[in-house]
Amino acid sequence: MTRLVPLVLGLAVLTACIPKGKYVALEEELASTRSELEQQIAARDATIADQEATISKLQGQVRDLEGAIKKITAELASREKQLEALNAEKASALADKGALKAQIEEMKQALAELQERKAQAEARVAEFKDLLAKFQSLIDSGTLEVKIVDGRMVVAMATDVLFASGSASLSAEGKTAVQQVAEVLATIPDRSFQVEGHTDNVPMKGSERYPNNWYLGAGRAISVTEAMIEAGMPVETISASSYGEHRPTTSNETKEGKAQNRRIEIVVMPDLSLLPGYEELEKMVNGG
């Protein structure tokens, strides 16, 4: 358009003095130039429109990509949370598995201990039955009784059969009974025995040798121990002790009760190595 204006002005000035043929040629040139310029403008406008459409399309694509990125970011965050939850569940499952394994091992150990205790209990029951069988004739005659006291096997003999009142010297009948008991006990392997003297609560009077029931109980226990050693009991497996009147089996209020409390008890001492916790106790005592 900038070239068209001077051409028009120039044409107006020259028309007065330019021949007609040349004028016509100038007009044609002007028309051609105008058409060319209009085509250029149209092409430029079309190019601009195409560029604007391309830009708009690209902007749409950018918006779509931004939306996709936002969606992918949100999904990624969600997956990361899921992964954290799965890792936490895995850690918890591993911890539970470890705890369960530990519980199973504890249960196995407890079961083994119970089975061992059961075997030991069955062995003690068998040993007790065997002792009963060996003493059955003396039990039937009323010379003694076999019982369990504080988890220990005890052979109890009434002292009225063994000793005169206030005495610690065995009667002939008593010595025979003690010897019979010793012969049976000597057949029990790997056991030690404690002879315990028990009295009623009647005070000792006028006895210099046995000033109280402690002394009387001890004297009777020693007499029985010596008689058992004479009958063949190994001396290293037997000992004597006294409880005096302080461990009655029944009330001393009656004559019958006093008679029951006057007794000799021969305790079959337990094998400590069979007791629960013995190994730990041994390590602690011996510094192992």
Same domain? For 133 and 31 the reply is no
E strand or H helix at 239: strand 238-244
Same domain (yes/no): 136, 259: yes
- 160 within domain boundaries: yes
Are 155 and 255 in a shared domain?
yes
Per-residue model confidence (pLDDT) at position 98:
85
Do 131 and 264 fall into the same domain? yes
CATH code of 198's domain:
3.30.1330.60
In a domain, 111, yes or no: no
Residue written as token pair 């000992």: 239
| pLDDT on residue 197 | 97
Q: Is residue 28 part of a domain?
A: yes
Residue 82: strand, helix, or coil = helix
Domain assignment present for 86: no
pLDDT in tens, the chain (288 residues): 555 555 555 555 555 566 778 878 888 888 888 888 888 888 888 888 877 877 787 688 778 778 878 888 888 888 888 888 888 888 888 888 888 888 898 889 898 988 888 887 788 788 788 888 988 988 998 889 999 988 889 999 999 989 999 999 999 999 999 999 999 999 888 899 999 999 999 999 878 899 999 999 999 999 999 999 999 999 999 999 999 999 999 999 999 999 999 999 999 987 655 555 556 655 655 665
Residue type for position 247? R
* Domain membership of residue 30 as a residue range: 1-41
Classify residue 96: in a domain, yes or no: no
In a domain, 92, yes or no: no
Residue 275 has phi, psi (to 5 degrees) of -80, 145
- The answer for 154, left when phi > 0, alpha when psi is -120 to 50, beta otherwise, is beta
Same domain, 138 and 36: no
- CA–CA distance, 267 with 239 (Å, rounded to integer): 10
With respect to residue 110, please indicate whether it lies within any of the assigned structural domains. no
Same domain, 264 and 135: yes
Domain count, the chain: 2
